[in-house]
């Protein structure tokens, strides 16, 4: 196999520091203390692939876009070029993908978010070369991504055919203001595999009774960390405060401790007993790892987790997923959990 492998090193940096994306916000993310997310996820995927296909030919681009990481895990990559400047750009991505195609890549694999996916798809337009994403961004609305870095390695190793899938993206400035309007950017050829995510869907049904039931049961002294989404937003409304629709809010004993909080702000606000309240993403089922990177492994490990969702959303999802950047935590979270679906009712769902 000849695999084109590309890393967007700045994808996802804005997530844990509350920026809901990195487009146009790289310097602000760094000023807030953000660390790169994509390199570690790329390393995980390459390491898993090296275990399966140590003889694979890896075509890549100069550091920090893949060459260094491929060497770290044991590959001897063919480095076809390098980024033009100190900061990588969409033009670097498109140039690298074009070079992979010219060098006979059987598949182009990239680490990034929806914007990177759109750039890769644009560079592949008019070719038969398929693409596969390793989720490294904040939003990840497209259906061209594997569920996790390790799942990507499995898909690369085992795929035999491809299918057409959607590349979606949203306006990050509008997203930061609470507006979600996904736009179809491309339809790309993607390997067929079990562990690919679906496109995100919106709409969760009537959650009024769920929200009222949750609000009636809040306990004194407990710190509640409310994730993004309309279902959790309905709970915040029932508690009498206006949260951030696409951010993370922290509340205890009637007081809002943090709104649209970063990872560090959440950690600072936690008390002796803490509960994260999250709702899975419609169409995909992710509880952690899509749209809420502020809920980092460090935060999750200090909290109990309460999952809430409408019945219709759960019917559509089938099962829940997690992708926290910490494989050990993911393994701990997997298994059966009770999801609140009404004032008193709960449904048993599997976190896969």
Looking at the structure, tell me whether residues 231 and 159 fall in a common domain. no
Greater confidence (264 vs 12) lies with 264
Both 12 and 114 in one domain: the answer is: yes
Task: Return d(Cα 140, Cα 151) in angstroms, integer.
Answer: 16
SS3 163: strand
- 247 with 159, same domain: the answer is no
Rounded CA separation 86/62 (Å): 12
The percentage of residues in the chain with a pLDDT greater than 90, rounded to a whole number, is 67
CATH number for the domain that contains residue 184: 3.40.50.10330
**Which residues sit opposite 108 in a β-bridge?**
4, 131
Is the residue at 234 inside a domain?
Answer: yes
Query: Looking at the structure, do residues 49 and 155 belong to the same domain, yes or no?
Result: yes
User: Do 225 and 151 sit in the same domain of this protein?
Assistant: no
* 229 has pLDDT over 50: yes
Task: Mark whether 232 and 337 lie in a shared domain.
Answer: yes
Query: What is the rounded distance in angstroms from the CA atom of residue 203 to the CA atom of residue 230?
Result: 8
Give me the number of domains the chain comprises.
2
Q: Tell the burial category of 291 from Cβ atoms under 10 Å away from its Cβ (0-12, 13-18, 19+).
A: buried
Q: Are residues 270 and 221 in the same domain?
A: yes
Edge-first strand order for the sheet with 107-112 is 78-79, 57-60, 2-7, 107-112, 131-135
Give φ, ψ of 342 to 5 degrees.
-160, -170
CA–CA separation, 55 and 76 (whole Å): 9
The mean of the pLDDT values for the chain is 88
Q: From its phi and psi, is residue 280 left (phi > 0), alpha (psi between -120 and 50) or beta?
A: beta
Residue 25 included in any domain: yes
Structural domain includes residue 168: yes
Same domain assignment for residues 230 and 290: yes
Instruction: Kindly calculate the radius of gyration of the chain based on its CA atoms and give it in whole angstroms.
Output: 20
Which structural domain, as residue segments, surrounds residue 140?
Answer: 2-191
Three-class SS state of 170? coil
Residues 177 and 262 occupy one common structural domain: no
Q: Specify whether 174 is located in the same domain as 285.
A: no
Q: Are strands 249-252 and 223-226 parallel, antiparallel or unpaired?
A: antiparallel
Point out the domain boundary residue: 163, 191, 219: 191
Residue 198 lies in a domain: no
Q: How confident is the model at residue 203 (pLDDT cuts 50, 70, 90)?
A: very low
The domain boundary residue, chosen from 191, 219, 237: 191
Let me know if residue 271 belongs to a domain. yes
The verdict on residue 308 lying in a domain is yes
Local confidence band at 14 (pLDDT 50, 70, 90 cut-offs): low
Which residue do the tokens 């002294």 mark? 221
| 327 CB-contact burial (10 Å; exposed 0-12 / middle 13-18 / buried 19+) | middle
Q: Calculate the alpha carbon distances from 65 to 71, 79, 328 in Å.
A: 12, 10, 26
- Per-residue model confidence (pLDDT) at position 204: 39
Strand partners, 78: 59
Provide the pLDDT for residue 37.
80
Domain end: 164, 191, 218, which one? Answer: 191
State whether 178 and 234 are in the same domain.
no
* Segment 16-72, tens digit of pLDDT: 545 445 555 556 545 665 567 889 999 999 999 999 999 999 999 999 999 999 999
Q: Chain-centre distance of CA 64, in angstroms?
A: 21
pLDDT mean over 134-151: 87
Domain assignment of residue 203, yes or no: no
Q: Please, how many CA atoms are within 13 Å of residue 109, restricted to the half-sphere of its CB?
A: 32
Q: How many CA atoms lie within 13 A of 145 on its CB side?
A: 32
Euclidean distance between CA atoms 121 and 116, whole angstroms: 9
Encode pLDDT of 80-112 as tens digits: 999 998 889 999 999 999 999 999 999 999 999
b/e per residue, 114-126, with b = 16+ CB within 10 A?
Answer: bbbbbbbbbbbee
Please check whether residue 342 lies inside any domain of the structure: yes
Taking only the tens place, the pLDDT of each residue in 311-332 is 888 888 888 999 999 999 999 9
Q: Residue 141's pLDDT band (boundaries 50, 70, 90)?
A: confident
Q: Say if residue 186 is in the same domain as residue 213.
A: no
């Amino acid at each position: 196999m000849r695999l084109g492998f590309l890393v967007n090193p700045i994808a996802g940096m804005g997530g844990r520091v509350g920026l809901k994306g990195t487009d146009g916000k790289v310097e602000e993310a760094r000023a807030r203390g953000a660390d790169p997310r994509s390199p570690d996820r790329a390393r995980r995927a390459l390491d898993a692939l090296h275990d399966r296909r140590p003889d694979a030919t890896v075509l890549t681009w100069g550091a920090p876009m893949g060459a260094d990481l491929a060497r770290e895990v044991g590959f001897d990559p063919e480095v076809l070029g390098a980024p033009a400047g100190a900061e990588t750009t969409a033009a670097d991505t498109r140039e690298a993908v074009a070079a992979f195609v010219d060098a006979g890549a059987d598949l182009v694999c990239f680490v990034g978010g929806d914007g990177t996916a759109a750039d890769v798809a644009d560079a592949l337009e008019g070719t038969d070369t398929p693409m596969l994403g390793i989720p490294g961004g904040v939003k990840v609305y497209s259906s061209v991504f594997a569920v996790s870095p390790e799942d990507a390695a499995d898909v690369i190793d085992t795929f035999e055919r491809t299918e057409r899938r959607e590349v979606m993206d949203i306006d990050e400035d509008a997203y930061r203001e609470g507006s979600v309007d996904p736009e179809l950017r491309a339809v790309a050829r993607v390997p067929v595999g079990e562990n690919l995510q679906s496109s995100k869907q919106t709409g969760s049904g009537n959650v009024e009774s769920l929200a009222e039931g949750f609000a009636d049961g809040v306990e004194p002294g407990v710190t509640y960390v409310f994730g993004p989404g309309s279902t959790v937003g309905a709970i915040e409304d029932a508690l009498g405060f206006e949260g951030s629709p696409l951010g993370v809010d922290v509340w205890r004993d009637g007081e809002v401790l943090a709104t649209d909080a970063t990872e560090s702000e959440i950690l600072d606000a936690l008390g002796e007993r803490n509960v994260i309240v999250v709702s899975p993403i419609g169409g995909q089922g992710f509880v952690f790892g899509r749209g809420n990177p502020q809920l980092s492994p460090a935060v999750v490990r200090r909290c109990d987790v309460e999952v809430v969702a409408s019945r219709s959303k759960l019917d559509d999802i089938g099962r829940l997923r997690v992708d926290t950047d910490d494989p050990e935590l993911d393994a701990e979270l997997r298994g059966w959990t009770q999801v609140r679906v009404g004032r008193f009712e709960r449904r048993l769902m599997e976190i896969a």
